[in-house]
């Protein structure tokens, strides 16, 4: 939930990524830093929700990648909107930014958004990108990420077996991974459960608490 000043914009494009995930393109109200978010509402006086920006700093429009919660308030309504429809959006804000070059980025589901924004802006900043999803349709931007990051882009599929993809959760992959040197930072983004579980594995494997920085989608 959020209560930011909002500005009316028209939806530019609305893309179906898979059965329950959409990529929504909006005009860019101002510049932003990779990792920042916007607050969104379907009417000026309606309830707001937060979404990480899922496009690069230099892209001319902004995108958000959202998961439709069928029993949620905003996302089922958002899903019905078409290009040209109005939406109310805040200016970008947030402090999950200033990523350190060469860090590890660990995400689940739509939690990849801030890291994809960083990748679009400065791909060389991404030391390793580990993305957890249910099945093949969960690996948004897979071709682009594979082409640029190669072996430093790791997919973890918790349900079906997917080619060239670790079978299991991000936490399970981390248990067996050779971690980076002690100075490396780990940025986490996803549900509270994913962030807490991933942080616990990192700490149990000797990573300092202050090297772990998280954004939780509550």
Binding site for ligand FAD (CB under 6 A): 37, 49-52, 64-67, 69, 71-75, 110, 113, 215, 217-218
Residue facing ligand FAD at closest CB distance: 72
Closer CB to ligand FAD, 39 or 103, in the complex: 39
CB of 217 to ligand FAD, least distance (A): 4
Distance CA 187, CA 131 (A): 12
CB of 151 to ligand FAD, least distance (A): 26
Tell which residue, 46, 34, 42, 9, has the closest CA to residue 94.
Answer: 34
Closer CB to ligand FAD, 9 or 166, in the complex: 9
Please say whether the dihedral angle defined by the alpha carbons of residues 187, 146, 111 and 24, taken in this order, is positive or negative.
positive
Distance CA 35, CA 15 (A): 21
Closer CB to ligand FAD, 65 or 130, in the complex: 65
Distance CA 15, CA 79 (A): 10
Closer CB to ligand FAD, 116 or 153, in the complex: 116
CB of 178 to ligand FAD, least distance (A): 30
CB of 129 to ligand FAD, least distance (A): 16
The contacts of residue 10 (CB under 8 Å, 6+ apart) are 27, 83, 84, 85, 86, 87
Closer CB to ligand FAD, 35 or 127, in the complex: 35
The contacts of residue 28 (CB under 8 Å, 6+ apart) are 59, 60, 61, 62
Q: Which DSSP symbol is given to 99?
A: P
CB of 218 to ligand FAD, least distance (A): 5
């Amino acid at each position: 939930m959020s209560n930011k000043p909002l500005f009316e914009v028209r939806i530019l494009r609305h893309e179906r990524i898979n059965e329950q995930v959409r990529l929504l393109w909006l005009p860019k109200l101002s510049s932003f830093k990779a990792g920042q978010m916007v607050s969104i509402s379907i009417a000026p006086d309606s309830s707001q929700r937060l979404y990480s920006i899922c496009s690069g700093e230099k892209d001319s429009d902004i995108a958000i990648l959202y998961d439709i919660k069928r029993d949620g308030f905003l996302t089922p309504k958002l899903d019905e909107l078409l290009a040209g429809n109005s939406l109310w959006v805040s200016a970008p804000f947030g402090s999950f930014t200033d990523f350190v070059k060469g860090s590890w980025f660990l995400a689940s589901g739509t939690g990849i958004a801030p890291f994809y924004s960083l990748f679009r802006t400065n791909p060389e900043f991404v030391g390793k990108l580990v993305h957890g999803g249910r099945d093949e349709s969960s690996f948004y931007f897979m071709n682009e990420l594979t082409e640029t990051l190669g072996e430093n882009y790791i997919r973890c599929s918790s349900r079906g077996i997917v080619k060239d993809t670790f079978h299991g959760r991000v936490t399970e992959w981390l248990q067996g991974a050779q971690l980076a040197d002690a100075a490396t930072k780990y940025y986490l983004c996803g549900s509270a459960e994913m962030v807490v579980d991933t942080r616990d594995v990192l700490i149990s494997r000797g990573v300092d608490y202050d090297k772990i920085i998280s954004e939780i989608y509550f």
